[in-house]
């Protein structure tokens, strides 16, 4: 029964434990509990409790101490003496002012006073640095002890450096995941916006392309649009007089499709288009087609924009 009470008291229960009114707490805590208990009746609960408490605190893998209501030490285990680098006989009966700088003394004093006044467990984490620059994260737990009408403060220190570093790494990973998730959300939004804009551009491009085709077909002249490599991009129906073009000829090179005009006139026309592309300037000429015995005027307009480069060829009958 008593070991369970002791463990629950040290690790998470805010209800303080009590010692028999007939026993003196200082003598209980200063007794060499690791020695034999021969001579004490086995039914003596207090003796068992002393043995459990003292043995546990000495082998407990953490620093532990108890202070009286004046916050002077009345018990320390070996780990706590090693932690503050003082022998037990030099610690008992003294307060933290003998072992810590003023700032730490005030902090410890305030925390101990809180436990004395409220009767509640107080937990805090402190980081201490060595001369080499390394550090330890320490979980300090203070808890109340009642004996008769007297109040005491018990405490223990647990090294949680690895746990704290792991917690920081987990927090860092969580922050990174949050950042990635937010970035992905932003990218998804941008993607939807871009898709919407692209669709709008496509609709607008389709509209203007249909308008262009209507304009080309209403022209009383042959109109032909070529890129800088003389590949066919657009043409209207009047071009059929000069070249037998169909939709299948789009993107073909003009010089690779059959012509309907005389060879000499065709050669002159191709030369003019090539000059306009090469010089990137407008050119024009008159030419005579011996097949139909008709004079024509050719205007070749060069264009250069962010989307494409090429020429627009306009051929009309000379009056």
Query: Do 277 and 150 fall into the same domain?
Result: no
In a domain, 187, yes or no: no
Please, are residues 223 and 239 in contact by the beta-carbon 8 Å criterion?
yes
Query: Do 11 and 153 fall into the same domain?
Result: yes
Query: Do 240 and 129 fall into the same domain?
Result: no
Query: Do 121 and 223 fall into the same domain?
Result: no
Query: Do 65 and 157 fall into the same domain?
Result: yes
Query: Do 36 and 118 fall into the same domain?
Result: yes
Query: Do 147 and 241 fall into the same domain?
Result: no
pLDDT tens digits, the chain, 319 residues: what are they? 334 443 333 433 334 444 444 444 444 444 443 333 333 344 455 555 555 566 666 666 688 889 999 999 988 888 888 888 888 888 899 998 888 888 888 999 999 999 999 999 999 988 888 788 888 888 999 999 887 788 899 999 988 888 888 888 889 989 899 999 999 999 899 988 988 888 888 888 777 777 767 776 777 788 889 999 999 988 888 888 788 888 888 889 988 888 888 888 888 889 999 999 999 889 989 888 887 788 889 999 988 877 778 899 998 887 6
Number of domains in the chain: 2
Give the residue carrying structure tokens 């640095």. Answer: 129
Range of the domain at 29: 2-161
Give the residue carrying structure tokens 């503050």. Answer: 84
In a domain, 148, yes or no: yes
Query: Do 23 and 144 fall into the same domain?
Result: yes
pTM: 0.44
Domain ends where: 121, 139, 161? 161
Question: In the prediction, which pLDDT does 72 show?
Answer: 92
Please, are residues 233 and 254 in contact by the beta-carbon 8 Å criterion?
no
pLDDT one-digit tens code per residue, 143-168: 998 877 888 999 999 888 888 888 88
Question: In the prediction, which pLDDT does 45 show?
Answer: 55
Query: Do 119 and 246 fall into the same domain?
Result: no
Which CATH number does the domain housing residue 307 bear?
3.30.450.20
Query: Do 18 and 85 fall into the same domain?
Result: yes
What count of residues does the chain have? 319
Question: In the prediction, which pLDDT does 135 show?
Answer: 86
In a domain, 167, yes or no: no
Domain ends where: 161, 176, 192? 161
Question: In the prediction, which pLDDT does 53 show?
Answer: 63
In a domain, 202, yes or no: no
Residue 313 buriedness (CB in 10 A; 0-12 / 13-18 / 19+): buried
In a domain, 206, yes or no: no
Q: How far is CA 159 from the centre of its chain?
A: 30
In a domain, 174, yes or no: no
Query: Do 140 and 238 fall into the same domain?
Result: no
Residues 6+ apart with CB under 8 A from 197: none
Query: Do 41 and 116 fall into the same domain?
Result: yes
Rounded to whole angstroms, the Cα distance separating 50 from 279 reads 107
Rounded to whole angstroms, the Cα distance separating 304 from 148 reads 100
Domain ends where: 161, 195, 229? 161
| Token code pair at residue 231 | 């590949």
In a domain, 170, yes or no: no
Please, are residues 1 and 107 in contact by the beta-carbon 8 Å criterion?
no
In a domain, 181, yes or no: no
């Amino acid at each position: 029964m008593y070991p369970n009470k002791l463990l629950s008291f040290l690790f998470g229960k805010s209800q303080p434990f009590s010692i028999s009114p007939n026993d003196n707490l200082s003598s209980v805590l200063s007794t060499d509990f690791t020695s034999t208990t021969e001579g004490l009746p086995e039914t003596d609960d207090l003796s068992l409790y002393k043995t459990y408490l003292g043995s546990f605190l000495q082998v407990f893998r953490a620093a532990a101490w108890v202070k009286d209501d004046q916050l002077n030490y009345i018990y320390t285990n070996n780990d706590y003496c090693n932690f503050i680098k003082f022998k037990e006989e030099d610690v008992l009966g003294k307060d933290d002012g003998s072992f810590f700088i003023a700032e730490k003394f005030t902090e410890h004093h305030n925390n101990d006073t809180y436990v004395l006044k409220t009767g509640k467990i107080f937990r805090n984490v402190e980081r201490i640095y060595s001369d080499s620059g390394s550090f330890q994260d320490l979980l300090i737990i203070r808890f109340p002890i009642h004996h008769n009408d007297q109040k005491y403060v018990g405490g223990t220190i647990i090294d949680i450096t690895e746990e704290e570093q792991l917690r920081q790494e987990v927090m860092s990973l969580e922050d990174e995941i949050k950042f990635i998730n937010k970035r992905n959300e932003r990218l998804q939004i941008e993607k939807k916006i871009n898709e919407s804009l692209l669709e709008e551009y496509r609709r607008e491009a389709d509209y203007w392309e249909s308008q262009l085709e209507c304009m080309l077909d209403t022209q009383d002249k042959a109109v032909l649009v070529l890129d800088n490599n003389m590949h066919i991009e657009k043409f209207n129906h009047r071009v059929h007089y000069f070249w037998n073009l169909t939709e299948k000829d789009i993107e073909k090179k003009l010089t690779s499709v059959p012509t309907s005009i005389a060879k000499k006139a065709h050669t002159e026309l191709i030369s003019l288009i090539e000059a306009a592309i090469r010089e990137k300037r407008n050119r024009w000429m008159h030419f005579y087609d011996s097949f139909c015995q008709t004079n024509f005027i050719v205007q070749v307009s060069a264009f250069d924009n962010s989307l494409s480069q090429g020429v627009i060829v306009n051929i009309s009958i000379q009056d």
